[in-house]
Structure 1
């Protein structure tokens, strides 16, 4: 009884799962292989690609289902001022209500479970990779899927790319945390998820790869490139099995531009760069206006603001949802210049308002939409001035799509690749590259930020600046670790272990085998539970071990902290360079003492 009483206090200070020794050994080897081995990285990349592909299928199904539910059409943007057949008594006025109803659902959902799911998503992933060791809350994938699908399905004028990037990245981050991946590998797994999401939802595996490397990782390391390609290809295969092999847009054939037309495409590139920057500035100006005007609970903001969005949809139903059919009509030359400019301005306002009221969705598809409108209008004007020598209107629309995105996001490689994948025509490369490079240079000359980095800069985060110095900079685990507690052997009986644990400092002791190799940790709680459930006190303590994530003496303290956060209060064992024997013990108290002292 005295032993049990002594253990009960220590048991409250620690918790651990109880695993049989054989099972523990197999799981440990498997997790270690996934967390650090090269073959394990391949398995993780494939798994994340499969997960992102499956997530893209579910996400697109949700968008389709909610669009049918709220509008009664497969895509209301091309339906004109049509009534919802489910609510025919309301006529065309139903669009005033759909954003409100959806906002009442996703507003509280985002506010309570994942505030980072609000907005267009990519900046949050960029921040997680650059400043948060690739850590994204696992619930983001579910909340973002539902919130964005509800927003788009009810009329929100946003795209699919931001949500699917955040969904895939959350899957990658979650899997990395499950296997205990290090910081560098976590960042790579997040990028794999982003690439897989883009590849599957847009049937664009190359664009997925370059989007992840140009915008998320901002590097082109060889190993990272290979893993991202694996993830992107896997997701694309799964996406094509569900959606078919056709591109996500149906576009007319593109004909090679004559050399004399390159000057026109150059002018278009400069103009498109200005449009991209203007979109970025207006987006955040409207968001600021919404922030200034709103004085009530945040969870209600999407519903109340949905009334304003409904007014825009009532005037311009072409702004409903992503609007790909309207984009395709513009590329096909079905609209006049005046109406194209109205659609361009309408998309800027509708997308900015959707984000400003707290909606959830991407800005990639809206930038393509704006590029198609601007490019088509430019092409029609060029035909009026130069006749048939200016070339087809569709070619200007296609180049405008890539150029406006490049002007807004300043991701020229991604812009070139995705337009090439859309058309499958190599002849697009020369005018496309010329316009995109000029759009990028124009954007850079006007502003130092992109549509993604500006959101972070407004929060005081500058991704181009060095990361803030860690208070643990220059400190290694060896400098702060405590001496190894008196270890138990695997054959120590539970009664003997209970006596030792009752007087131990942290309610936990390391367990080694006969040659001193580290096996795991025995905690007061685990031993107390076994004894209280009728276990024999002569049973070996090796039957109740758990294996925490170990660290090594030469590790930076900043890196070890990420593992310590998820550890039990007893701390973590510190292993020697061989990875088998104990050289110390690191605890939360040791880290706090290091913060107080600072680097030596």
Structure 2
């Protein structure tokens, strides 16, 4: 669609402006294009200060972006992605257009003055704000506005990382939370458009220069699997530390919010003085780690330092993403792990850089639980197909381990701490807080699984439902047969179509009577029919039916 192309172009242009702002502010406040590439050096603008200028840079940056965010767009504070997820899930995709401008300046000032955060969160929020604004200006439906928000996010990621596929899957996996042909097509258009603009400006090379990847020995797959589990623990730990330090900053600060980044900048400056590699995003340090340029002890120090510096930057009110810090932390973990196993198994461990790459993807997957995005972005950054198998193994194990350790992700935890559950009812919504059992209707008369297609068509046409439960010969529930499935089967050749509905019965995602309606609505909206069975939690048997009409009855049912 044309709107997706326009949003993609806007996100691409926004990425160009944003990166220019980061570079400009970094040069002004540090005297270097990227201070992390020359840690410990002095600032040529104030040579008499030597390396101690890092004590002042965060304070100056805070004095500039603190009042800007507090006065014009407080939602621009923090890492941005949770706010976009909330806008899509519960606010109809509405994001203020002011966010695009304020986020650009605030995040660029944060990174340029030494804030140890990434640029992906800001550009996602910037692109999403552009998409939301265009959707509302053109008076699009709520679904269209949400899709354009996702297009903005996809375009921002694609242009920033030169990774168009990663932009598409980031938007669908984290922003929309669903996959569809329409969403895929629109986000691809936006992502490709933004990538073209980004490549025309920055070139076609990946933004990181990573080592070539290869697996030398089958034993390495076991080592990669173990790394995936360890990375999940580290990813979850990063999320915990991030919000723990934010809580400490909230508890300590008693002054006006506009002044908080400047005063907190003193603490950040002390961290940068002790570990200047933490200045800004830190890609030069990440690249050096993947090349085996650091000892194992210093790698672990950089890992802990990045957690502290990023958490402190966010905690004092800075603006920036946590995607790049997750990659940084994963690279330090993977490199340290690789050096360790190389000493233990020198003949089979392989190159340290391989573990650094796997650690990057697995740590991000463990923290954000976006396994497809993690696999795709590492593949696009390296261009190595041989990375796919070990990366998928580590990422899947990291995602599964993360689910066992932590209910939330690094993005949703921020919202849950504010009392917001993306899968739950929106604050003030008229339906959603009720339980399914309060609004469900009686279970429709089930059809035997041995029913022929013709008879099933008659039953469905007379039932008033677009789907009916099916039972086997013993009366046991086997699934739901939808009118769509029967119609599709009747349209097939006679010798290819099933003779009964036994093969058409599909058990949808379970809905229970005690479940909040807000959670059940997500399942109902994605179901193929017009309703889903409601199960008794104790015996697991269907006891009612939830349809769109019965859900609307919740308007008159107290929560």
Aligned-pair CA distance for 1:258: 2.5
Aligned-pair CA distance for 1:71: 0.5
- Pick one of 55, 67, 70 that aligns with 2:14: 55
Alignment partner, residue 179 of structure 2: 220
2:81 and 2:121 in contact (8 A); partners too: yes
Matched residues, number:
436
Q: Determine the C-alpha separation between the residues in 2 that align with 1:407 and 1:472.
A: 33
Q: Determine the C-alpha separation between the residues in 2 that align with 1:352 and 1:82.
A: 24
Q: Determine the C-alpha separation between the residues in 2 that align with 1:173 and 1:396.
A: 39
2:12 and 2:197 in contact (8 A); partners too: yes
Q: Does 1:122 align with 2:81?
A: yes
1:286-305 matched pairs, under 5 angstroms? 286-305=245-264
- Pick one of 58, 63, 66 that aligns with 1:104: 63
1:193-204 matched pairs, under 5 angstroms? 193-204=152-163
Q: Does 1:355 align with 2:314?
A: yes
Alignment partner, residue 251 of structure 1: 210
Q: Does 1:471 align with 2:427?
A: no
Q: Does 1:261 align with 2:206?
A: no
Alignment partner, residue 95 of structure 1: 54
1:282-431 matched pairs, under 5 angstroms? 282-431=241-390
- Deviation track 1:22-62 (CA, whole Å, cap 9, x = no partner) reads xxxxxxxxxxxxxxxxxxxx110000000000000000000
Q: Does 1:138 align with 2:103?
A: no
Q: Determine the C-alpha separation between the residues in 2 that align with 1:467 and 1:294.
A: 30
Q: Determine the C-alpha separation between the residues in 2 that align with 1:257 and 1:293.
A: 51
* TM-score (ref. length: structure 2): 0.77
Q: Determine the C-alpha separation between the residues in 2 that align with 1:386 and 1:598.
A: 67
* TM-score (ref. length: structure 1): 0.72
2:215 and 2:350 in contact (8 A); partners too: no
Aligned-pair CA distance for 1:257: 4.6
Q: Does 1:232 align with 2:191?
A: yes
Q: Determine the C-alpha separation between the residues in 2 that align with 1:80 and 1:180.
A: 50
**Unpaired segments ≥5 residues, structure 1:** 1-41, 474-596
Secondary structure of 1:346's match? helix
- Deviation track 1:278-309 (CA, whole Å, cap 9, x = no partner) reads 00000000000000000000000000000000
Alignment partner, residue 172 of structure 1: 131
Q: Determine the C-alpha separation between the residues in 2 that align with 1:366 and 1:267.
A: 22
Q: Determine the C-alpha separation between the residues in 2 that align with 1:218 and 1:139.
A: 25
1:125 and 1:216 in contact (8 A); partners too: yes
Bigger Cα Rg? 1
Aligned-pair CA distance for 1:468: 5.8
Aligned-pair CA distance for 1:256: 2.9
Give the 3 Å change call, closer, same or farther, for CA 344–46 of structure 1 in structure 2: same
- Pick one of 40, 46, 52 that aligns with 1:81: 40
Aligned-pair CA distance for 1:463: 1.1
Q: Determine the C-alpha separation between the residues in 1 that align with 2:431 and 2:323.
A: 39
Aligned-pair CA distance for 1:254: 1.1
Aligned-pair CA distance for 1:467: 4.4
2:425 and 2:431 in contact (8 A); partners too: no
Aligned-pair CA distance for 1:599: 8.7
- Deviation track 1:333-387 (CA, whole Å, cap 9, x = no partner) reads 0100000000000000000000000000000000000000000000000010000
Aligned-pair CA distance for 1:116: 0.1
- Deviation track 1:468-496 (CA, whole Å, cap 9, x = no partner) reads 673389xxxxxxxxxxxxxxxxxxxxxxx
Q: Determine the C-alpha separation between the residues in 2 that align with 1:356 and 1:388.
A: 45
Alignment partner, residue 147 of structure 1: 106
- Deviation track 1:120-151 (CA, whole Å, cap 9, x = no partner) reads 00000000000000000000000000000000
Q: Determine the C-alpha separation between the residues in 1 that align with 2:351 and 2:430.
A: 60
Deviation above 2 Å: which 4+ runs of structure 1? Answer: 464-473, 597-600
Q: Determine the C-alpha separation between the residues in 2 that align with 1:253 and 1:412.
A: 22
1:56 and 1:239 in contact (8 A); partners too: yes
Aligned-pair CA distance for 1:66: 0.6
Alignment partner, residue 187 of structure 1: 146
Aligned-pair CA distance for 1:80: 2.2
Secondary structure of 2:347's match? helix
- Pick one of 222, 231, 238 that aligns with 1:279: 238
Aligned-pair CA distance for 1:313: 0.3
Alignment partner, residue 414 of structure 2: 455
1:210 and 1:413 in contact (8 A); partners too: yes
Q: Determine the C-alpha separation between the residues in 1 that align with 2:308 and 2:557.
A: 51
**Unpaired segments ≥5 residues, structure 2:** 433-554
2:228 and 2:395 in contact (8 A); partners too: yes
Q: Determine the C-alpha separation between the residues in 1 that align with 2:428 and 2:260.
A: 37
2:216 and 2:348 in contact (8 A); partners too: no
Secondary structure of 1:362's match? coil
Q: Determine the C-alpha separation between the residues in 1 that align with 2:27 and 2:85.
A: 33
- Deviation track 1:228-259 (CA, whole Å, cap 9, x = no partner) reads 10000000000000000001100111113522
- Deviation track 1:498-542 (CA, whole Å, cap 9, x = no partner) reads xxxxxxxxxxxxxxxxxxxxxxxxxxxxxxxxxxxxxxxxxxxxx
Aligned-pair CA distance for 1:268: 0.4
Aligned-pair CA distance for 1:598: 6.3
